[in-house]
Amino acid sequence: MIRRAVRYAGPSALARTLCGDLLGAREYSLLLNAADVGELLAALRTTSYAAAVNETGRRFDYAIRDRWRENVEKIAARAPGVARELCLAYLARLELEAVKTLLRGIVAGVERRRLLAMLPPLPSASSIPLGAIGAAADFEQAAAALKDTPYHEAIVAGIEASAAQSSARATRLFPASETALDRQYFARLITAAGRFSGGERVMIERMVGMMADAENLLAVERLKKIFQLSPADAALFLIPFGARLDASRRRALLAWNGERPAPYGRDTGASPAALRVVLMRALNAEARRLLFTIPFHAGLLFAFAIMSDHEAADLIAIHEARRWGLARNDVFDRLIRVPAHEAIGEPGV
């Protein structure tokens, strides 16, 4: 315990300092009460997000997520080796999202300048050759441009799996390369979690397992409810990791008709919020538990990365709501960190 406390003293102090910058009920109330985007930005300038929203020439969502990237990289730089790899493995979702966006855009024929403008911020050590991919004329050329990156093998495996699958409809709607990329991402997280031992390993593997379970639930909801895929076809697009989905629950998941509650082990039918929000709230609650119960462990750093990621998603949701003039009450079911009306002083509740 003493050795671990010494190793984690610096990064834990930094993580707790950055956690102090997370928005509280008062800040959320100010943002939700903003009449328009101008008032929203004015309210954000009174918070730790001031520098991000003051930068000109950047999309709001890009600026908010880039601030999140910067904070996670700051913590990772001070963390012990295994904790650093865990934080960077989680942060790699930005690269994963960028690769998917590029491949989808190229297949759809999106104009390259517009496509590049849609990308999320990339990690400082990103290996994605944007210029080469931007010059690609089709999916195959884009895949070739990624040959020196960690993603090329997964894309090739996806192409081969797509050719071998019997359901042309399934592979047309959901390219197997995207599933291979998702599996590669979670495999990296699982590997990073497996390098810990004892209680640290249990806590972190539980968090990663919850993320994988949520991804599988969302995939099944999308594949079966929207695209009416059979259980056999839907199974091709699931991640083979999870915290609670044993063989019987995996069978129940594939037989799920999309109605609440979902076969997850939690009450996903108690909220009118979208299933994604309900699942992210459960993950956020687990992150808060790690953050405030045990000092000096990698789970604290991981918890901050997750909670601040969710807060960025909340801010983007509120910004979009203000842009489109949605009513204040209509925003609550889109939020992850503050799901309850009373938590932010909703009158009459």
* Tokens encoding 338: 């503050």
Per-residue pLDDT of the chain (349 residues; tens, 9 = 90+): 556 666 777 788 888 889 889 998 889 989 999 999 999 999 999 999 999 998 777 899 999 999 999 999 999 999 988 999 999 999 999 999 999 999 889 888 899 889 999 999 999 999 999 989 888 988 889 989 999 999 999 888 887 777 666 554 444 444 678 888 999 999 999 999 999 988 888 888 889 988 998 888 888 888 777 777 777 777 777 887 766 666 677 777 777 766 766 666 555 555 656 888 888 988 998 888 877 666 667 888 899 999 999 999 999 999 999 999 888 878 888 899 875 444 544 433 2
Q: Is the pTM of this model over 0.85?
A: yes
Q: How many residues does the chain have?
A: 349
Which residue in this structure is represented by tokens 């790899």?
Answer: 85
> Please, is 206 exposed, middle or buried when counting C-beta atoms within 10 Å of its C-beta (0-12, 13-18, 19+)?
middle
For the chain, percent helix, then strand, then coil, each to nearest 5? Answer: 70, 0, 30
> Please, is 46 exposed, middle or buried when counting C-beta atoms within 10 Å of its C-beta (0-12, 13-18, 19+)?
exposed
User: CB of 73 within 8 A of CB of 124?
Assistant: yes
Domains of the chain: 1-82+296-349 (1.10.132.50)
Residues 6+ apart with CB under 8 A from 222: none
User: CB of 32 within 8 A of CB of 324?
Assistant: no
Residues 6+ apart with CB under 8 A from 194: 201, 205
